[in-house]
């Protein structure tokens, strides 16, 4: 993915980078060819009969799942229900035993460049500065873009720091910026807020929501926190023994009020489903 084309697709990022740049650079950036403007903001997902087992332990059992482009799907479930394995299979970090994973007409494995994954730990390279971490794997003049991505997650002032100088929440923000600069069509979040304190987690949830509403990529969030799933997801899936046990649409206005009656009702429904076993 060239810098020019990836920049052109990101409205918000481009606007920010234009603000950050001296006029001449901004003009130069605007002159980049806009080849991929027709690129879909979100990846559609189609899973059919997906099986995966570790030894004799079946983790995913003939799983079927359809996700629309740009949808925010939150997956909850007990430990070992297969939610993390599903996410890693989507990211291409696990191979499935059988079944198909497609995006539209193409196998998901052909769309690796459009898929980015955030882990529970930020996994920043300790020997790279914050800015260099964001530019990981990029070529050419990516620095302006990286600064814009950093700006978007509110950490522009920390560009030249080392990862160890950041707090856990800041590290996850950098990891998010690192994913955003690649302009993903599918963002996979593997309990990215699990290790954060309650207040930081709320801030990060708001940030993820804002970023998703700006870029409209497809998001699959795996979490163990029901409230987080209902607060963020347009759709909440409860997984049980490698299958989808509950598929719930969350039709609430954003930003969601966590004390509202309908919010609490949905949260209760999901809770009951998880606890019913």
Partner 1 sequence: MKAPGLLHNNRPLRSAAWAVLPWIVPVLVLLLWHYVSTHGLVSARLFPPPTAVLQTLAELFSSGELWRHISVSFGRAAAGFALGAGLGLILGLLSGLSKTGERLLDTSLQMLRAVPPLALVPLAIMWFGIDETTRVFLIAFATLFPVYLNTYHGIRSLDSGLIEMARNYGLQGWPLIRDVILPGAVPSILVGIRYALSVAWIVLIVAETISASAGVGYLAMTAREFLQTEVVVLSILLYAALGKSTDSAARWLERRWLKWHPSYQREALA
Question: By the criterion CB under 8 A, which residues form the site for partner 1?
Answer: 91-93, 112-113, 116-117, 119, 121, 123, 125-129, 136-137, 162-164, 178, 182
Smallest distance from partner 1 to CB 249, Å: 30
Q: Are 243 and 77 in contact (CB under 8 A)?
A: no
What phi and psi, each to the nearest 5 degrees, are found at residue 106? -105, 140
- Judged by CB, which is closer to partner 1: 188, or 231? 188
| Alpha carbon distance 261, 239 (integer Å) | 25
CB of 266 to partner 1, least distance (A): 32
Q: Tokens for 53, please give them.
A: 């087992």
Q: Decide if 68 contacts 29 (C-beta within 8 A).
A: no
The CB-of-237 to partner 1 minimum distance in angstroms stands at 23
Please tell me the distance from the alpha carbon of residue 218 to that of residue 253, in angstroms, as a whole number.
Answer: 18
Rounded least distance, CB 124 to partner 1, Å? 9
Please identify, using beta-carbon distances, which residue of 108 and 226 lies nearer to partner 1: 108
Interior CA angle at 53 toward 49 and 59, to 5°? 75
Q: How many CB atoms lie within 10 A of CB 125?
A: 11
Cβ–Cβ under 8 Å, residues 86 and 223? no
**Could you tell me the smallest distance in angstroms from the CB atom of residue 77 to partner 1?**
23
Nearer to partner 1, 131 or 266 (CB): 131
CB of 149 to partner 1, least distance (A): 14
Q: Least Å distance between CB 161 and partner 1? A: 10
Beta bridge partners of 221: 74, 189
Q: Which is nearer to partner 1, 178 or 273 (CB)?
A: 178
Tell me if 104 sits within 8 A of 110, measured CB to CB: no
Please say whether the beta carbons of 97 and 52 come within 8 A: yes
Q: Report angle CA 96, 102, 104 to the nearest 5 degrees.
A: 175
In angstroms, the CA 70 to CA 75 distance is 16
Residues contacting residue 12 through CB under 8 Å, at least 6 positions apart:
152, 214, 215
Smallest distance from partner 1 to CB 122, Å: 9
């Amino acid at each position: 993915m060239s810098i020019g084309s990836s920049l052109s697709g990101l409205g918000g990022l481009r606007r920010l980078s234009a603000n950050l740049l001296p006029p001449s650079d901004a003009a130069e950036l605007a002159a980049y060819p806009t080849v991929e403007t027709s690129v879909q903001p979100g990846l559609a997902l189609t899973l059919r009969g997906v099986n995966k087992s570790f030894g004799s332990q079946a983790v995913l059992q003939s799983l079927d799942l359809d996700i629309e482009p740009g949808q925010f799907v939150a997956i909850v479930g007990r430990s070992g229900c297969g939610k993390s394995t599903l996410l890693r299979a989507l990211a291409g970090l696990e191979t499935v035993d059988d079944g198909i994973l497609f995006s539209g007409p193409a196998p998901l494995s052909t769309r690796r460049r459009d898929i980015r994954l955030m882990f529970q730990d930020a996994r920043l390279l300790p020997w790279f500065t914050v800015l260099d971490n964001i530019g990981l794997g990029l070529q050419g003049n990516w620095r302006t873009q990286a600064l814009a991505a950093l700006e978007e997650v509110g950490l522009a002032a920390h560009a030249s720091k080392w990862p160890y100088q950041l707090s856990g929440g800041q590290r996850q923000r950098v990891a998010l910026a690192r994913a955003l600069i690649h302009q993903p069509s599918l963002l996979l979040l593997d309990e990215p807020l699990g290790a954060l304190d309650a207040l930081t987690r709320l801030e990060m949830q708001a940030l993820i929501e804002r970023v998703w509403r700006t870029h409209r990529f497809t998001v699959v969030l795996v979490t163990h926190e029901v409230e987080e799933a209902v607060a963020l997801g347009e759709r909440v899936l409860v997984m049980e023994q490698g299958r989808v046990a509950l598929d719930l649409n969350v039709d609430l206005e954003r930003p969601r009020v966590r004390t509202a009656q309908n919010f609490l009702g949905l949260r209760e429904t999901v809770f009951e489903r998880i606890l019913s076993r």
